[in-house]
A and B are shown apart, each in its own frame.
Chain A
Amino acid sequence: MLAEGALAAGCRFFAGYPITPASEVYEVMMRELPILGGLALSAPDEISSLCYCVGASLRGLKAMTATSGPGWALMIETAQYALMTETPVVVALVQRLGPSTGGATQGAQGDVWLAEFSTSGGYTLPVFSPSNAAECFELAVHAFNWSERLRTPILLLSDKEVGMTSEVVDDEALRIPALVNRKMATAKADYAPYAAQEPECVPAFAAVGGEIKATVTGSAHDTQGRLRKNSPQVISVLERLQRKIEAHAEEIERVRPDLDPGARCLLISYGVTARAARQAVGKLRSEGMRISFLHIQSLFPIPRKWLDRAVAGAEAVFVAEENLTGQYRAALTPYLSGKRIYGINRVGALISPSEIARAVQGVRA
């Protein structure tokens, strides 16, 4: 469904390299893209995969690759290049158990930090995390839309349990957002490839091979794309790279809130664990407990608007995720001051609804 979502979003270029549990996306794209007039290709490694995608995007196509943690580790250099050159591209990162080769067929939510904190300079990479097949489709379209609008790499953080579980999808109920395409440069005379107007903060795009000269560089540059050292304009371009994400943070937010204004407990989850969390909330409520639930689909930038709303009345905040160290909990903690924060974590298997319910009840008792 992630691949189907990408196709619906207008993806017309895919380069991939086999890796469990992301190979399904690769296979669907190899089969389906040529039929739509697109191009799907087997790359000789993950570095090439993402380089080919970025090259194709520079030529003007919407492009995606799919990988897992070990492959993403190899792609980070090129993802940073896409960020610096403001080249739209989508990377589907289907997580598996790490570190290293880890467990290829075991699910995990252990790549949150590796996904988000992968740029020198700490720039925000927008990350969407689907919890089921329908969300794979919908969030793939959102990922492409934001990648195009912001001209930046976007991650779709899925995992083995979401990507390799067959499930029924009611395709009539899918909410397919309107498609967004990158804003193209029109003025020929004074086009500056890295100059952008406030408040959108995103420069117009000139495709390589088009009528307007494209100047692309991953080195620190001014608004004309010239390599410069010690130029205030270079700093302002770098600042804008982050500002363009922050300026749209509220619009990027995607959550599935289930809030009880009178509840003192808030449960937060994402990805596959959000499914168990939703079931746990139903169980706890049926036993008379008042609890709010925030299922976050857009992990980064942190959805501050909904987070603030959800934590407003809460005294205790639980974050359930399938990793040992509470990666997303740590990212949320700066925004949860004054709250008691508890992690519900495990690795190697899905966190079950009863495990979550027990953890919440344990603290309450």
Chain B
Amino acid sequence: MTPEALYLSPTAKLPYCRGCGHSLVVRQLSRALERLGLPPRSVVLTTDIGCVGLADSLFPYLHTVHTTHGRSTAFATGMALADAILEPQGLKPIVMIGDGGATIGLLHLVHAAQLNVDITVLVHNNFLFGMTGGQHSALSPLNWITATTPYGNWTPPLDLLSLLRTAHATFLARQLATSQELESTIADALNFPGFSVVEIVELCTAYGTRWNQVSGASLEEIVRRQGYALGEVQIEMERPTFRDLYRHGMESPRPKRAKPAVPRLNTLARLADEIRLVIAGTAGERVQSAAALFCRAALAAGLYSTQKNDNPVTQGSGFSLSEICLSPKPIEYTGMESPDVVLVVSEDGWVELEANGTVAACGEETLLLLDSQIEATPTRGCVIRLPLRREANPKRAALSAIAAWLEKNPLLPTEAWEAVLALEPTERRAESAAALEIGRRLACGGGAL
């Protein structure tokens, strides 16, 4: 087999209209591949939708992937990304896309440029959508007549290469389909280690030349009129490719996969039946982390738990709450039909519990432990007030509230807290221990908890 037969056979019957630039591009692409001697199985030709999407069947020995409209770049990027972690590496994706596909898939081009994946994109810019009947595209020149701009195009065309330059594209070139240099430009792009784009300017002989006074000879004039340069307009050799970046990134020590290892104690919790608690306070005051610590302590003592958190979309302002269910058995329903215990450490928390229906769902049996500064008076349930915010740092009030309730309802052994505090970062450990101690102390003076 001759080298050229590995790519496009010289006798291949091309499916394109007479005079269409696509025929020139597939021939020059084949010559460029031949010149570089790329093994066919190291190349994947990824084609977009449109007449350009007929090209893959012309290359019988290359891997071919015919994709959806505009997405060819993204599929090719996925292949290149995967190739970066596989051995042996060296896959060369080539994307063949039109001006329409480049527009609808613009973000894929931008991201491929940012990543600097090793793919080559050939943008066949014939200024319109050919296969669908000659509609204008975002790359149509001003005053261009198409099926959808019968009075001439009045939106300025996108300068694709300038746009991609701002996305850190490393190799950008523009050539006429009729240029003698097209083959070498494509070869340079293919040979370039990183993201490369060649915008190939051509004419659609079915529609472009039908409605506009143009011919192959006027292509250069159209390009000049738009102020576009021809040739290899940007080559940036210094930027590392995605493959280099990935390898470099992976050279740094890999963290060990740490599993949160909560020890299982011999002293078990004293809980006969499911219990449901709501803990509410202010965002940023460690309400949810106090609840998580409580659940881990419960786990150490052999209990099952579920924890659901809620806060406003802004995350760092307004209320913060956790709903907890503890049980000696696996937990099914995780909702809160009527809470057994409600711990509220700030006004924000109380306001939210009124808004979300928790207050209304409290029964006569519900225990409500409120910070003394909360003014509202619950109409149902047993209410206890403790000066949590005054005595404890507000950021520790939720943990203090939990400790206060547990002091009078000792379902967890103290070893459970010790076990989970030992897993906390050192700087948090003392703070948390102090918060627990404050809670216990307040409870001792705090009546009917």
A227, B81: Cβ atoms closer than 8 Å = no
Chain B, range 231-268, C-beta contacts under 8 Å to A: 246, 249-250, 254-255, 257
B308, A161: Cβ atoms closer than 8 Å = yes
A167, B306: Cβ atoms closer than 8 Å = yes
B91: which of A59, A275, A350 is its contact (CB, 8 Å)?
Answer: A59
Q: Is B17 an interface residue (CB 8 A)?
A: no
- Tell me how far the C-beta of B6 lies from the nearest C-beta in chain A, rounded to whole angstroms: 11
B-side contacts of A353, CB under 8 Å: 332-333, 337
B83, A13: Cβ atoms closer than 8 Å = no
A165, B313: Cβ atoms closer than 8 Å = no
B66, A219: Cβ atoms closer than 8 Å = yes
A213, B62: Cβ atoms closer than 8 Å = yes
A209, B41: Cβ atoms closer than 8 Å = yes
B-side contacts of A168, CB under 8 Å: 295, 299, 303-306, 330
A44, B79: Cβ atoms closer than 8 Å = no
A-side contacts of B331, CB under 8 Å: 167
Q: A214 CA to B307 CA in the complex, in Å?
A: 48
Dominant secondary structure of chain A at its interface with chain B: mixed
A213, B41: Cβ atoms closer than 8 Å = yes
Give the interface segment out of B69-77, B154-162, B368-376, B399-407.
Answer: B69-77
B78, A52: Cβ atoms closer than 8 Å = yes
B307, A165: Cβ atoms closer than 8 Å = yes
- Tell me how far the C-beta of A280 lies from the nearest C-beta in chain B, rounded to whole angstroms: 9
Q: In chain B, what residue has the closest Cβ to A56?
A: B82
B79: which of A105, A208, A350 is its contact (CB, 8 Å)?
Answer: A208
B75, A213: Cβ atoms closer than 8 Å = no
Q: Is B292 an interface residue (CB 8 A)?
A: yes
Contact flag A352-B79 (CB < 8 Å), given A59-B91, A208-B91, A213-B61: no
A81, B68: Cβ atoms closer than 8 Å = yes
Chain A 37-78: CB-based contact to B (< 8 A → 1; otherwise 0): 111010111011001111111111101000000000000011
Q: In chain A, what residue has the closest Cβ to B311?
A: A105
B-side contacts of A209, CB under 8 Å: 41-42, 44, 63, 79, 83, 86, 91
Q: Is A254 an interface residue (CB 8 A)?
A: no
Q: Is A177 an interface residue (CB 8 A)?
A: no
B-side contacts of A149, CB under 8 Å: none
Q: Is B354 an interface residue (CB 8 A)?
A: no
- Tell me how far the C-beta of A164 lies from the nearest C-beta in chain B, rounded to whole angstroms: 7
What total of chain B residues lie within 8 Å of the partner, measured CB to CB? 61
Q: A245 CA to B200 CA in the complex, in Å?
A: 43
B44, A276: Cβ atoms closer than 8 Å = no
A44, B63: Cβ atoms closer than 8 Å = no
A39, B333: Cβ atoms closer than 8 Å = no
Q: Is A333 an interface residue (CB 8 A)?
A: no
B57: which of A44, A165, A227, A354 is its contact (CB, 8 Å)?
Answer: A227
Q: Is B67 an interface residue (CB 8 A)?
A: yes
Q: A45 CA to B109 CA in the complex, in Å?
A: 13
Contact flag A32-B71 (CB < 8 Å), given A214-B44, A217-B66: no
A48: which of B65, B67, B111, B255 is its contact (CB, 8 Å)?
Answer: B111
B308, A51: Cβ atoms closer than 8 Å = no
Most chain B C-beta atoms within 10 Å of own C-beta, residue among A34, A47, A55, A278: A55
Q: Is A35 an interface residue (CB 8 A)?
A: yes
- Tell me how far the C-beta of B295 lies from the nearest C-beta in chain A, rounded to whole angstroms: 7
Contact flag A166-B81 (CB < 8 Å), given A47-B74, A51-B108, A209-B91: no
Q: Is A249 an interface residue (CB 8 A)?
A: no
B78: which of A54, A166, A225, A349 is its contact (CB, 8 Å)?
Answer: A54
Q: Is A15 an interface residue (CB 8 A)?
A: yes
Q: A225 CA to B56 CA in the complex, in Å?
A: 11
Q: Is B19 an interface residue (CB 8 A)?
A: no
B82, A165: Cβ atoms closer than 8 Å = no
Contact flag A78-B68 (CB < 8 Å), given A55-B79, A59-B79: yes
A-side contacts of B303, CB under 8 Å: 168
Contact flag A104-B79 (CB < 8 Å), given A48-B111, A276-B332: no
A-side contacts of B332, CB under 8 Å: 275-276, 278-279, 353
21 contacting pairs across A/B (C-beta < 8 A): A44-B110, A44-B111, A47-B74, A54-B78, A55-B74, A57-B78, A58-B78, A60-B86, A105-B313, A167-B306, A168-B305, A208-B65, A210-B41, A211-B41, A214-B44, A217-B65, A218-B67, A227-B54, A227-B66, A276-B333, A350-B335
* Given A55-B82, A57-B82, A78-B68, 19 further pairs, Cβ under 8 A: A13-B78, A54-B75, A56-B79, A81-B67, A161-B308, A161-B334, A164-B309, A168-B303, A209-B41, A209-B86, A210-B41, A215-B63, A216-B63, A217-B56, A217-B64, A226-B57, A275-B333, A350-B333, A350-B335
Taking Cβ atoms with an 8 Å cutoff, the residues of A that contact B are 12-13, 15, 32, 34-35, 37-39, 41, 43-45, 47-48, 51-61, 63, 77-78, 81, 104-105, 161, 164-168, 208-211, 213-219, 225-227, 272, 275-276, 278-279, 349-350, 352-354
